[in-house]
Amino acid sequence: DTAVSQTPKYLVTQMGNDKSIKCEQNLGHDTMYWYKQDSKKFLKIMFSYNNKELIINETVPNRFSPKSPDKAHLNLHINSLELGDSAVYFCASSQEARATIYFGEGSWLTVV
Amino acid sequence: GDSVTQMEGPVTLSEEAFLTINCTYTATGYPSLFWYVQYPGEGLQLLLKATKADDKGSNKGFEATYRKETTSFHLEKGSVQVSDSAVYFCGGGSTLGRLYFGRGTQLTVWP
Protein backbone atom coordinates (compact mmCIF):
# COMPACT_ATOMS: atom_id res chain seq x y z
CA ASP A 1 0.00 0.00 0.00
CA THR A 2 2.92 2.36 0.60
CA ALA A 3 3.01 4.94 -2.17
CA VAL A 4 6.67 5.89 -1.97
CA SER A 5 8.87 3.38 -0.21
CA GLN A 6 12.56 3.62 0.45
CA THR A 7 15.06 1.25 2.00
CA PRO A 8 16.85 1.04 4.29
CA LYS A 9 15.14 3.24 6.85
CA TYR A 10 18.25 3.36 9.02
CA LEU A 11 21.83 3.00 7.92
CA VAL A 12 24.95 3.36 10.02
CA THR A 13 28.23 3.05 8.17
CA GLN A 14 31.86 4.01 8.39
CA MET A 15 33.57 6.84 6.57
CA GLY A 16 34.89 5.85 3.19
CA ASN A 17 32.27 3.20 2.53
CA ASP A 18 29.95 3.13 -0.46
CA LYS A 19 26.23 2.73 0.16
CA SER A 20 22.95 2.82 -1.73
CA ILE A 21 19.43 3.83 -0.82
CA LYS A 22 16.63 2.41 -2.91
CA CYS A 23 13.31 4.04 -3.73
CA GLU A 24 10.18 2.80 -5.42
CA GLN A 25 6.84 4.48 -6.07
CA ASN A 26 3.63 2.70 -7.03
CA LEU A 27 1.67 5.85 -7.87
CA GLY A 28 2.39 5.76 -11.59
CA HIS A 29 4.14 9.12 -11.37
CA ASP A 30 6.54 10.33 -14.03
CA THR A 31 8.87 12.30 -11.81
CA MET A 32 10.96 11.24 -8.84
CA TYR A 33 13.22 13.19 -6.52
CA TRP A 34 15.82 12.93 -3.81
CA TYR A 35 15.84 15.48 -1.01
CA LYS A 36 18.30 15.85 1.84
CA GLN A 37 17.28 17.01 5.32
CA ASP A 38 20.09 18.15 7.57
CA SER A 39 20.25 18.09 11.35
CA LYS A 40 18.49 21.46 11.51
CA LYS A 41 15.57 20.07 9.49
CA PHE A 42 16.47 22.10 6.41
CA LEU A 43 15.25 20.36 3.27
CA LYS A 44 16.94 20.73 -0.06
CA ILE A 45 16.40 19.07 -3.40
CA MET A 46 19.31 17.03 -4.72
CA PHE A 47 18.07 15.40 -7.90
CA SER A 48 14.98 15.03 -10.00
CA TYR A 49 14.24 12.51 -12.73
CA ASN A 50 11.41 12.63 -15.23
CA ASN A 51 10.72 9.41 -17.11
CA LYS A 52 14.19 8.12 -16.23
CA GLU A 53 15.95 11.27 -17.40
CA LEU A 54 17.82 13.57 -15.07
CA ILE A 55 16.22 17.02 -15.07
CA ILE A 56 17.49 18.60 -11.87
CA ASN A 57 20.96 18.19 -10.48
CA GLU A 58 21.61 20.68 -7.73
CA THR A 59 25.03 21.44 -6.36
CA VAL A 60 25.75 18.00 -4.97
CA PRO A 61 29.18 16.32 -4.74
CA ASN A 62 29.73 13.88 -7.56
CA ARG A 63 30.11 11.16 -4.94
CA PHE A 64 26.32 11.11 -5.09
CA SER A 65 24.96 9.36 -8.15
CA PRO A 66 21.28 8.74 -8.78
CA LYS A 67 20.19 5.88 -10.96
CA SER A 68 16.74 5.35 -12.42
CA PRO A 69 16.31 1.90 -13.98
CA ASP A 70 12.66 2.69 -14.76
CA LYS A 71 10.26 5.47 -13.93
CA ALA A 72 9.06 3.72 -10.78
CA HIS A 73 12.50 3.50 -9.23
CA LEU A 74 15.15 6.04 -8.31
CA ASN A 75 18.12 4.82 -6.33
CA LEU A 76 20.80 6.94 -4.69
CA HIS A 77 24.34 5.67 -4.56
CA ILE A 78 26.92 7.41 -2.41
CA ASN A 79 30.65 6.77 -2.75
CA SER A 80 33.35 7.44 -0.19
CA LEU A 81 30.96 8.49 2.54
CA GLU A 82 31.94 11.44 4.72
CA LEU A 83 30.79 12.52 8.16
CA GLY A 84 28.94 15.45 6.62
CA ASP A 85 26.77 13.09 4.61
CA SER A 86 24.93 12.14 7.78
CA ALA A 87 21.36 13.27 7.21
CA VAL A 88 17.90 12.05 6.39
CA TYR A 89 17.38 11.39 2.70
CA PHE A 90 13.85 11.55 1.33
CA CYS A 91 12.68 10.09 -1.91
CA ALA A 92 9.59 11.66 -3.46
CA SER A 93 7.46 11.56 -6.59
CA SER A 94 4.90 13.63 -8.46
CA GLN A 95 2.82 13.30 -11.59
CA GLU A 96 3.66 16.54 -13.38
CA ALA A 97 4.88 20.10 -13.00
CA ARG A 98 3.27 21.97 -10.10
CA ALA A 99 1.65 18.75 -8.92
CA THR A 100 1.68 17.58 -5.34
CA ILE A 101 4.89 15.84 -4.33
CA TYR A 102 4.57 12.70 -2.23
CA PHE A 103 7.41 11.80 0.09
CA GLY A 104 8.73 8.51 1.35
CA GLU A 105 9.37 8.02 5.04
CA GLY A 106 13.03 8.86 4.84
CA SER A 107 16.33 7.04 5.23
CA TRP A 108 18.38 8.03 8.27
CA LEU A 109 22.03 7.83 7.29
CA THR A 110 24.69 8.08 9.97
CA VAL A 111 28.35 8.08 9.00
CA VAL A 112 30.78 7.30 11.81
CA GLY B 1 15.91 32.50 -7.09
CA ASP B 2 12.49 31.46 -5.89
CA SER B 3 12.23 30.88 -2.18
CA VAL B 4 9.94 30.86 0.83
CA THR B 5 10.63 32.31 4.24
CA GLN B 6 8.73 31.03 7.22
CA MET B 7 8.56 32.00 10.82
CA GLU B 8 11.27 30.41 12.86
CA GLY B 9 10.31 28.43 15.87
CA PRO B 10 9.99 26.82 18.11
CA VAL B 11 6.38 27.67 18.76
CA THR B 12 4.90 26.46 22.03
CA LEU B 13 1.17 26.67 22.66
CA SER B 14 -1.39 25.36 25.07
CA GLU B 15 -4.11 23.08 23.80
CA GLU B 16 -7.01 24.96 22.16
CA ALA B 17 -4.87 28.02 21.47
CA PHE B 18 -4.89 29.78 18.10
CA LEU B 19 -2.01 29.01 15.76
CA THR B 20 -0.43 31.16 13.08
CA ILE B 21 2.77 30.26 11.29
CA ASN B 22 3.81 32.92 8.83
CA CYS B 23 5.14 32.15 5.38
CA THR B 24 6.05 34.52 2.57
CA TYR B 25 7.32 33.68 -0.87
CA THR B 26 9.57 35.23 -3.46
CA ALA B 27 9.04 34.05 -7.01
CA THR B 28 9.26 35.36 -10.55
CA GLY B 29 6.00 33.70 -11.53
CA TYR B 30 3.01 32.37 -9.66
CA PRO B 31 4.05 29.31 -7.72
CA SER B 32 1.88 26.65 -6.23
CA LEU B 33 2.12 26.87 -2.46
CA PHE B 34 2.08 24.05 0.04
CA TRP B 35 2.21 23.27 3.70
CA TYR B 36 3.76 19.98 4.68
CA VAL B 37 3.86 18.46 8.16
CA GLN B 38 6.51 16.16 9.58
CA TYR B 39 5.70 14.18 12.70
CA PRO B 40 8.60 12.86 14.79
CA GLY B 41 10.48 10.09 13.02
CA GLU B 42 8.32 10.27 9.92
CA GLY B 43 8.45 11.69 6.42
CA LEU B 44 6.68 14.76 5.12
CA GLN B 45 2.96 14.66 4.55
CA LEU B 46 1.08 17.18 2.50
CA LEU B 47 -1.18 19.17 4.79
CA LEU B 48 -2.75 21.56 2.29
CA LYS B 49 -2.04 23.43 -0.90
CA ALA B 50 -3.17 26.29 -3.11
CA THR B 51 -2.37 26.71 -6.76
CA LYS B 52 -3.45 30.27 -7.52
CA ALA B 53 -4.10 33.62 -5.90
CA ASP B 54 -7.01 33.79 -3.44
CA ASP B 55 -7.23 30.00 -3.23
CA LYS B 56 -7.69 28.69 0.28
CA GLY B 57 -6.25 25.33 1.21
CA SER B 58 -7.71 23.54 4.20
CA ASN B 59 -7.32 20.21 5.95
CA LYS B 60 -7.75 18.88 9.50
CA GLY B 61 -8.78 22.31 10.77
CA PHE B 62 -5.74 24.02 9.25
CA GLU B 63 -6.17 26.76 6.65
CA ALA B 64 -3.96 28.92 4.49
CA THR B 65 -4.90 31.49 1.85
CA TYR B 66 -2.72 32.33 -1.15
CA ARG B 67 -2.36 36.12 -1.01
CA LYS B 68 -0.65 37.57 -4.06
CA GLU B 69 -0.74 41.15 -2.79
CA THR B 70 1.27 40.26 0.30
CA THR B 71 3.05 37.23 -1.23
CA SER B 72 2.00 35.20 1.78
CA PHE B 73 0.57 31.82 2.65
CA HIS B 74 0.20 31.86 6.42
CA LEU B 75 -0.92 28.68 8.17
CA GLU B 76 -3.68 29.01 10.77
CA LYS B 77 -5.67 26.78 13.05
CA GLY B 78 -8.29 27.96 15.46
CA SER B 79 -7.74 25.39 18.21
CA VAL B 80 -4.61 23.27 18.30
CA GLN B 81 -4.38 19.85 19.86
CA VAL B 82 -1.47 17.97 21.41
CA SER B 83 -1.49 15.71 18.35
CA ASP B 84 -0.64 18.71 16.15
CA SER B 85 2.85 18.81 17.62
CA ALA B 86 5.18 18.44 14.64
CA VAL B 87 7.42 20.40 12.29
CA TYR B 88 5.59 22.41 9.65
CA PHE B 89 7.17 23.30 6.31
CA CYS B 90 6.00 25.94 3.90
CA GLY B 91 6.88 25.15 0.29
CA GLY B 92 6.55 26.58 -3.16
CA GLY B 93 6.96 25.15 -6.61
CA SER B 94 6.63 26.58 -10.07
CA THR B 95 8.70 24.44 -12.38
CA LEU B 96 9.03 20.72 -12.59
CA GLY B 97 10.47 19.37 -9.38
CA ARG B 98 11.69 22.65 -8.00
CA LEU B 99 9.76 22.46 -4.77
CA TYR B 100 11.62 24.68 -2.33
CA PHE B 101 11.00 24.72 1.39
CA GLY B 102 11.27 27.08 4.28
CA ARG B 103 13.39 26.05 7.24
CA GLY B 104 10.53 24.46 9.13
CA THR B 105 8.74 25.55 12.29
CA GLN B 106 8.65 23.23 15.27
CA LEU B 107 5.26 23.35 17.00
CA THR B 108 4.80 21.91 20.48
CA VAL B 109 1.33 21.85 22.02
CA TRP B 110 0.99 21.25 25.75
CA PRO B 111 -2.14 19.80 27.35
List of chain A residues whose C-beta atoms are within 8 Å of the C-beta of residue B87: 41
Contact predicate B64/B50, CB 8 Å: yes
User: Are B95 and A102 a contacting pair at CB < 8 A?
Assistant: no
Q: How far apart are CA A47 and CA A64, in angstroms?
A: 10
CA distance B79 to chain A (A): 25
Say what the pLDDT of residue A95 is.
85
Q: How far apart are CA B59 and CA B34, in angstroms?
A: 12
Summarize pLDDT for B10-38 with one digit per residue, the tens. 999 999 999 999 999 998 888 889 999 99
Q: How far apart are CA A19 and CA A1, in angstroms?
A: 26
Summarize pLDDT for B32-72 with one digit per residue, the tens. 899 999 998 888 999 999 989 999 999 999 999 999 999 99
User: Are A31 and B96 a contacting pair at CB < 8 A?
Assistant: yes
CA distance B38 to chain A (A): 10
Q: What are phi and psi of A7, to 5 degrees?
A: -140, 145
User: Are A90 and B95 a contacting pair at CB < 8 A?
Assistant: no
CA distance B73 to chain A (A): 16
